[in-house]
Structures are given as structure tokens and as C-alpha cells.
Amino acid sequence: MLAARYYGIKDIRIEKLPKPTCNSKEVLIKVAYAGICGSDLHIYRKGMFVSSVPEIMGHEFSGVVEEVGAGVTGLQPGDHVVGDPRVSCGDCRWCRQEKVNLCPDLGFIGEVCPGCFAEYLVLNEERLLKVPPGVELFKAALVEPLAVALHAVGKANLSPLEALGIIGAGPVGLLTLLVARPFVKQILVIDRVPARFELARRLGADRVIQMLPKNPSEQVDVVVEAAGTGATLRGALKWLKPGGRLVMAGLYEGSVPVEPNDILEKELKIDGTNAYERLDLEKAISLIASGQVDVRPLISHILTLESAAEGFLMLTSPDIDVVKILLAPAPAVD
């Protein structure tokens, strides 16, 4: 099979590898679509998260069950699936409480074990979720990032009388916009890329701006920070009203300085978010299947697996004008 493997910073190679086989409780999936995620960009730029090199990258995917192990009871060949790509210890207090995202040893496929940037992938049955047959597989590939947005919005505890600010109009920021739109009176989106402005407006933003407002009258009740830079984190603290709430949904590539007095003087509340819980994945499938959330506008390009390196170059370009890139390892059955 073909696979995109990480060999080092900005070094992704397409290689031919043996097709994996599944053990008793495992499932062989023919990958239909795989999404390039923000954390994949951190790996590409900085070598973060990966525990061994070379490694097959990727953790967002949809696919079709091709084979099942003898001990698999809930899936059969032909089923459409998405993954819960989290890899945890399984034994700590948080894993036992089904709060896998809080496991101190949490990792993801594509980082600590082979990922989905390949024609085939093997996962334990417990790490897979069925997708209704009517859901197109290219849409299902966005279940995982939608779960991230759902988890962030759940942390935000939104109210219909509040104004929400979203920093970063990438996939997580825009999916947060889609999820949050029914629950607040106003949504403002900040991004430095003008090409994303119109998409944010189409998806329901009341206002899209390139710079953080400086006028206190433009402060918001809640900010979801989905860009993951020191400047955007510091800006989020200043953008909030007294008593406001910050939800941190971006990943950072290093330590960043903040002004703690902004937190103290305004008595701000800060929530971190680490991925999602299983219920977020299940809800994401339901929202896409029902049509309540339309992820299609976020998909900028669908590239062949052989073009994976090109996709990373597009997403890390200074003139980035794309949102979500999917890789299609092989022709899929939708």
C-alpha cells in the first residue's frame, strides 16, 4: 500500500509498505479520506508529538471496513466508519472514568503509532464509530475536528445574550462558528488571512476583522482562541469583558508570555480544551448526518495521497488561502 511517512521537519515521503493485517479485535479499514490537521502542521514544522521516525502521519479519517478480526462483533465489511484516534494508557483514573482526553500519556495515531495517511489502517474495534450509510465519506472525514469544536463550545457555556469572539478562521475556528451560531446573539471572527473572511461571513459571522479591537466597547463575553500563538492569546485576554471567559482551543509550538494582570483585574475564567470526549465524536456524526452542520464549505481541496507534501506546503504558505485539505488515498465508495 502507499503511505505518507514523516521523516523529519518538512520531510514527508510517499512510500510503498506492506498492507497491514488485523488481529482478533482489530479492523482493517480502507481509508477513503484523511484530513490534514493543525497538529499535523506542528509535526511538519517543528517535529512535535511524534514518538518515532519514520511514521505514517494523520489521525482524521473516514473509511470503509474491509476485514474484521475473529473477535469483532459490532462491525462488518462494508460498514462506513470514522475513528477515535486517541491512544491512551487505559489504566489511569481518567481513562477508567472515560475521560481519555485527560490521560497523562495521551497520544494519537499518526504520532505514537501508524496513522491514516495511507491506503489502509488497522484499529481496534473500540476505536471506531459507525457512520450512517447516507453520509458522504468526504464529509465524515471532518467528524474529528467537529468534535474538537463541540468540546470547545461545551466548555464555553454560551448564553443567548452574549457576544462570542473567535480568534482564528481555520477549521476549528470555523467549525466553532457553525456550532455556536444558534446559542449567542453575536459572533465576531478575527483572522489575518483576508481569503478566509468571506467564508466566515457565509458561515454566520456577524463581523470579520483582521486586528483585535482596541475600543473597550467592542469587548466580548467569551473568546475561543483557536490560533495558538502568543500574540493571539494575549489579545484574547484584552478582548474579553470583565468577568469574561476564555476557551483555549489552539495548540502552541512553545512557551508564550501573557499579562497575568489582565486575568486578575477582570477576574477572567480560563478553560483549556484537549481534543474531545467520545460523546463529542458521537454528536459530531449526528450533526453531519442530520445536515444541522454542513462541513462542505470548509473543504478547500481534495488531493491524492501522492500529493501530501504539496498539501502541507499549501497549508504552511505565507499566503495561505485554504482551510481544510483532504487526502484521498484511493477512490472511495460514497
Residue 167 belongs to domain with CATH number? 3.40.50.720
Q: Does residue 332 have a pLDDT over 60? A: no
The pTM of the full predicted model, rounded to 2 decimals, is 0.96
Q: What is the largest CA-CA distance in the chain?
A: 64
Residue 16 belongs to domain with CATH number? 3.90.180.10
- Residue 274's identity, in one-letter code, is N
pLDDT reported for residue 99: 93
Q: Evaluate whether residue 334 is within a structural domain.
A: no
What torsion, rounded to 10 degrees, do the Cα atoms 214, 215, 221, 224 define?
A: -20
Q: How many domains does the chain have?
A: 2
Same domain, 192 and 81: no
pLDDT reported for residue 217: 84
Q: Evaluate whether residue 239 is within a structural domain.
A: yes
Same domain, 131 and 152: no
Q: Give the domain extent around 234.
A: 146-272
pLDDT reported for residue 331: 62
- Residue 17's identity, in one-letter code, is L
What confidence tier does 254 reach under pLDDT thresholds 50, 70, 90?
Answer: confident
Q: What is the pLDDT of residues 78-119, one digit of tens each?
A: 999 999 999 999 999 999 999 999 999 999 999 999 999 999
Same domain, 42 and 154: no
> Which of 321, 136, 164, 169 has its CA nearest to residue 250?
169
Same domain, 133 and 156: no
pLDDT reported for residue 285: 98
What's the rounded Cα separation, in Å, for the pair 93 and 96? Answer: 5
pLDDT reported for residue 215: 84
Q: What is the pLDDT of residues 162-207, one digit of tens each?
A: 999 999 999 999 999 999 999 999 999 999 888 888 999 999 999 9
